[in-house]
Structure 1
Amino acid sequence: MSDLHEFADDDTRTEDRHRKRRRRHRRRRAVTLLLILVLVIGGAGYLVLGPLKGIAADLHGNTGDYKGSGHGEVSVVVSSGASGRTVANDLVDKGVIKSSDPFLDALSKSGDQLQPGRYVLHRHMSGSAAVKLLQNPVALPTFTVPEGYRRMQMVPAIHKVSGLPVAEIKKALKAKPQKYGLPADLPSIEGYLFPATYKVKPHETATEIVQTMVDRMQAALTDAGVRAQDQRTVLTKASLVQAESPGDYATRRKIARVFDNRLKDDNKETDGKLQSDATVSYIFGTREDASTTKKQRASKSPYNTYRHKGLPPGPINSPGLASIKAADDPASGPWMYFVTVNPDTGKTKFATTYKQHQKHVKQYQAWLKKHHKGDHRKAKKNGGKS
């Protein structure tokens, strides 16, 4: 009889295990059916995938709340018309919050709606901290690079906003061009930093900031329709146009034409030399009246376009979009010379002969005499600007 009781006990335990297994299977089927039902009701589209993940996470026990304001950075987009539940589930998926309920409770208590937009949150935030940051996003500090700036002129602005050491910023700006995806034979990244206003993210390095600026310039060149094989030439000419012209877009296109005319092999007027004061100033630093001395114009630097034919080795500043477009699409005309006779207004006069150009130079010298108390003596006797 004892053996029969033992068999009976074994049968009972076996049956209990089977019953428990069947219950687990039924629960899983119920969850699966629920998810399928929500998919059908929601149209089985992408918009329901986020909420489903959040629901699935809660069903598998992913509940509770993190403490504090979190760490790191997570980019979050709140779409127009998105519900609090949709946003909460997206935050769960991205590891911002641990579960939906604490976030939704905090959102309900705040009484405010979430505004659509892109936000920077942190990993492992409490639900209430995430709500506060979404409703009161921290404005990122910004710095601005004006058109025509040289790379080292950007250091103070980047340092002031980012707090990064000056030495680290200079090192990033002096890094080899290939570090930023640029051609290895460029003399530097000069000119490849797009002039614009930039936001500085928390913990962003100097290298990352510079890379963003380089990427913006690459995008600007592409958007302007500049072919990849022409970008270096166009950007170099654009930097000269930027430095030489305070005028409007039409004036810049004419200046770009002057440079192209001077670069022609059969040009007897200037023997193929650009003779741009801007390139000499790049070597020695800009003077108040943008003129250069005879000694400076004798420099052996490859950037000295009085001594060397053709374009300099690379850009001399960061040109704006107007100068880039002007360099890529210059005006038609026979001009060989130009001088800005009134730097305040940008009024520029063009000439086809050196004799005609000298008359315009005298007008520029007169402007200098009136506005700079004798600095007119610094203006070159042999041609003024370009």
Structure 2
Amino acid sequence: MVMRALPQNIDPPHMSRAEARKQREARNKRAKRGKKVGVLALLVLVIAVLGVGAYGALWYMDRNKAAEDFAGPGGAPVVIQINSGETASEIGATLEAKNVVASSAAFYNAAIANPSEIQKVQPGFYQVPVQSSAASALDSLVAPDSRVGSVVIAEGRQLHDSSDAQTGSLKKGIYNLISEASCVGPVSAQKCVSTDELNTAGASSDLASLGVPDWAMSSVKSVPDKDRQLEGLIAASSWDFDPTATPTEILRSLVEGSAAKYEATGILTAGSGVGMSPYQLLVAASLVEREALPGDMAKVARVIVNRLAVDQPLQFDSTVNYSLDTTEVATTDADRERVTPWNTYAMPGLPATPIASPSIDALKAVESPAAGDWLYFVTINKEGQTLFTKSYEEHLANIELAQQSGILDSGR
């Protein structure tokens, strides 16, 4: 057998010995770097494995902790807020933060076990007992009396209470409705924001703290009766507010939300077409709300625009009624003769403030009134039929029809 010599590192014939030595030194350095990189990669891998293991241990421990649940039955109620679009896990986290449930995961499990119940939970504020079991916390959320800070403001509602001259029934004002919705705590010891507290807050000269928008600021500053300065600035809508907030904070949340609703209609620019500022549009819309049925709103808006254009008093009974505690459709001669900042029989132009919270439809009607030359209108029967005319003589004849139907009969 022929023995072969082992390969030797022979320098290429064209290289000098110095050049060959430099190449060998470079190869040795690369080899050493390679070993270091390998050791470093191995170290990183070990750290990663240890990290995953530690994370897994923490996850396992948190998982066990998350399964904790209170036995119940629960203690004093606290108020929590649920926002639109929140998941069961997010609601559970809120409840855990408020000490209502022991863990968000326990609530999540209760929600998964009762899908029909969790679907009933709507955005808003709720009072639920602390240290409740997850299942009982879910039951509390869907209980009819758990919702707090929820108020519905109907179209045409005013800030203050009034009574009907015909029936004697009380029509609750916005402040009264807010007060009722603000009550929290056990039935035996409920705490509510009073109507007087709301009225005092609403009369503050610090209009910015009340959320009054810039486009209404100068007009509201000049309102002669500060108790009425927020009239019309709380829109007709369904509202949720934090019942644990101060009266000023509650009103600010409602006024700011209302301003956003009004601005979405185009109120900031629509007045250029009818010669009104944004605040004047709101005032006119409140008149339309109190004077017209939905189908006639655009026509009544046109009557307002036409009368203002010729400086003719509006002569709306709704403006006479505004400053009265007892109201009815038919006003008396004495009522109409009373000079107030709102009585449009006693002065030309618009009232000092809105006379109620207008609907968005009423506001849109003023922003885009119907085409017409009408200066007068009167509702002639209890079905709401309303006749419009430019002629005063025709208007007088229409009033006779209204009198014959009994719609203008007085209860006073």
TM-score (norm 2): 0.62
**Greater Cα offset, 181-190 or 140-149:** 140-149
What's 2:321 paired with?
A: 281
How many residues get paired? 320
What's 2:358 paired with?
A: 319
**1:332 pairs with 343, 353, 371, which one?**
371
Contact 1:144 1:196 in 2 (8 A): yes
Aligned runs of 1:1-386 on 2, under 5 Å?
29-31=51-53, 55=59, 58=62, 68-69=74-75, 72-76=78-82, 97=101, 99=103, 107=110, 111-113=113-115, 115-116=118-119, 117-118=121-122, 126=131, 129-137=133-141, 138-139=143-144, 140-141=147-148, 142-153=150-161, 154=173, 155-161=175-181, 162=183, 163-176=192-205, 177-182=207-212, 183-186=217-220, 187=223, 188-198=229-239, 203-227=244-268, 230-245=277-292, 247-249=293-295, 251-264=296-309, 267=310, 271-285=311-325, 287-293=327-333, 295-342=334-381, 344-368=382-406, 372=409, 375=410
Amino acid across the alignment from 1:274: L
- CA distance in 2: counterparts of 1:317 and 1:134, whole angstroms: 39
- CA distance in 2: counterparts of 1:222 and 1:179, whole angstroms: 19
Query: Cα offset for 1:362?
Result: 1.1
Q: Tell me: CA distance 1:328–1:56, structure 2 relative to 1, closer, same or farther (3 Å).
A: farther
- CA distance in 2: counterparts of 1:27 and 1:70, whole angstroms: 47
- CA distance in 2: counterparts of 1:287 and 1:111, whole angstroms: 54
- CA distance in 2: counterparts of 1:281 and 1:260, whole angstroms: 21
Query: Cα offset for 1:170?
Result: 2.7
Amino acid across the alignment from 2:177: A
- Could you report, residue by residue, the CA deviation over 1:246-300 in whole angstroms, capped at 9, with x for unpaired residues? x233x11101000100111xx2xxx43222222222234554333242x444444
Query: Cα offset for 1:320?
Result: 1.7
Query: Cα offset for 1:100?
Result: 5.6
Contact 2:100 2:130 in 1 (8 A): yes
Contact 2:318 2:329 in 1 (8 A): no
Amino acid across the alignment from 1:335: W
Contact 1:97 1:124 in 2 (8 A): no
Ranges in structure 2 where 5+ consecutive residues have no aligned partner: 1-45, 162-172, 184-191, 224-228, 272-276
Give the greater-gyration-radius structure (CA): 2
- CA distance in 1: counterparts of 2:324 and 2:306, whole angstroms: 26
- Could you report, residue by residue, the CA deviation over 1:206-228 in whole angstroms, capped at 9, with x for unpaired residues? 44443343234223313323226
Contact 1:234 1:328 in 2 (8 A): yes
Q: Tell me: CA distance 1:209–1:345, structure 2 relative to 1, closer, same or farther (3 Å).
A: farther
Amino acid across the alignment from 1:166: T
Contact 1:69 1:129 in 2 (8 A): no
- CA distance in 2: counterparts of 1:72 and 1:238, whole angstroms: 40
Amino acid across the alignment from 1:242: E
Q: Tell me: CA distance 1:158–1:101, structure 2 relative to 1, closer, same or farther (3 Å).
A: closer
Query: Cα offset for 1:324?
Result: 1.5
Contact 1:70 1:122 in 2 (8 A): no
- CA distance in 2: counterparts of 1:278 and 1:122, whole angstroms: 40
Query: Cα offset for 1:190?
Result: 0.5
- CA distance in 2: counterparts of 1:303 and 1:34, whole angstroms: 72
Ranges in structure 1 where 5+ consecutive residues have no aligned partner: 1-23, 36-53, 379-386
Amino acid across the alignment from 1:359: A
**Greater Cα offset, 195-204 or 183-192:** 195-204
Instruction: Quote the RMSD (CA, aligned, Å).
Output: 4.3
Amino acid across the alignment from 2:194: P
Q: Secondary structure at the match of 1:263?
A: helix
- CA distance in 2: counterparts of 1:261 and 1:281, whole angstroms: 23
Q: Tell me: CA distance 1:333–1:55, structure 2 relative to 1, closer, same or farther (3 Å).
A: farther
Query: Cα offset for 1:180?
Result: 1.9
Contact 2:317 2:331 in 1 (8 A): yes
- CA distance in 1: counterparts of 2:95 and 2:322, whole angstroms: 51
Q: Secondary structure at the match of 2:379?
A: strand
Contact 1:74 1:123 in 2 (8 A): yes
Query: Cα offset for 1:337?
Result: 0.8
Q: Secondary structure at the match of 2:155?
A: coil
- CA distance in 1: counterparts of 2:370 and 2:177, whole angstroms: 35
- CA distance in 2: counterparts of 1:125 and 1:360, whole angstroms: 64
- CA distance in 1: counterparts of 2:60 and 2:375, whole angstroms: 73
Q: Secondary structure at the match of 1:339?
A: strand
